[in-house]
Structures are given as C-alpha cells and as structure tokens.
Amino acid sequence: MEIVETSLSGVLLIKPRVLHDPRGFFMETYRADLLASAGVHESFVQDNHSSSSRGVLRGLHYQLCHAQAKLCRVVQGEVLDIAVDIRVGSPNFGKWVGAVLSTENCHALYIPRGFAHGFAVRSETADFLYKCSDYYDAADDRGVLWNDPALAIDWDTPSPILSAKDQRYLPLSQIPIDSLPVYQP
C-alpha cells in the first residue's frame, strides 16, 4: 500500500497493491498500522455505501459538532472525489484537492476532520464506500455550495444532478465563522 500526500496537508491518496491472477484480484483496502505511520490515528465507527448514476454530484458536506474524517473508495464505476479545507485559520482555507477514484485504479482518499467533502459520478453508475470517524447526526448536517465561485472547483460535470439540500447551501464566504471548524495545528 502506497500512501501519497496531496497538495492539502492531511488529505492522503491511498494506492493499494492489487494482486491479479486468473481468478480475479486481491487487495488490502484498509490497514490501521500503515495509516498510523502516515499520521492517521482515527477509529472508524460507521461505513456508508452510496450508489449513484452518471452526473450525480453529492456535496459539499460536513458536520461541525460530530466532525467526520472519511476514508473513501469506489468499488464500481468512477467518481471525482473532492475535499475542501474549511478550517478557520488554516493556511489552506478555501483550497481544494480532487482525486479520481475508480474500479480500475482502486485508489482511496483519506479526508481529515474539518474538510467539506463531495463527489461527482463520471461513469454510468458508481458505488462509493466510505468509513467515518464519527456517527452521522442529521441535526449537525451542514454544507458549502457545490459551485461556490470563490472555490472554483472543476467538477468536470456539465449538468450535475443535485439534491435540493445541496442546491441551497451558501458559498463558503457567507457561512458564519462559528458554523465552521477551527484549524488546530
């Protein structure tokens, strides 16, 4: 398993070693010891599975009181996975990083607490799995507008299919500062 730092400190691209033979393949998708050696010391408490069709865009989501670190991967299809640093005081505040996660590349993306997260489906369908470090709490559900002009995220999705909730979020600059996570170096 290769763990690669991205342009945003703490966001990691994980490239598993995939062993192929005539029967198919085998890979380790999660290794706590290797993630710990890369600085990830999360205990994941919830697994989620999202199935979506081409053009679906989910995000940008976060929780404040029950902030979640996420370990994301795709088991069928392809998505563009996005993490946005929304931690007040962070030197990377308002910056984002994206990674293509697919059946073919088997990559995973680790997103620390304090980041907004979203993804856009680039294949006919995609099954997206992610581990969370805290439980989902509907009362703590928050988000940033997916097409915030200041973030200028290139979703590579011409006409995204969005939930009503995702269409109503505010741009990052309009979210009250006490509704955003705080950077803790």
Active site positions, annotated: 61, 130
Radius of gyration of the chain measured on its C-alpha atoms: 16
* Burial of 70 (C-beta count, 10 Å sphere; 0-12/13-18/19+): buried
Buried b (16+ CB within 10 A) or exposed e, 157-185: beebebeeebeebeebeebeeeebbeeee
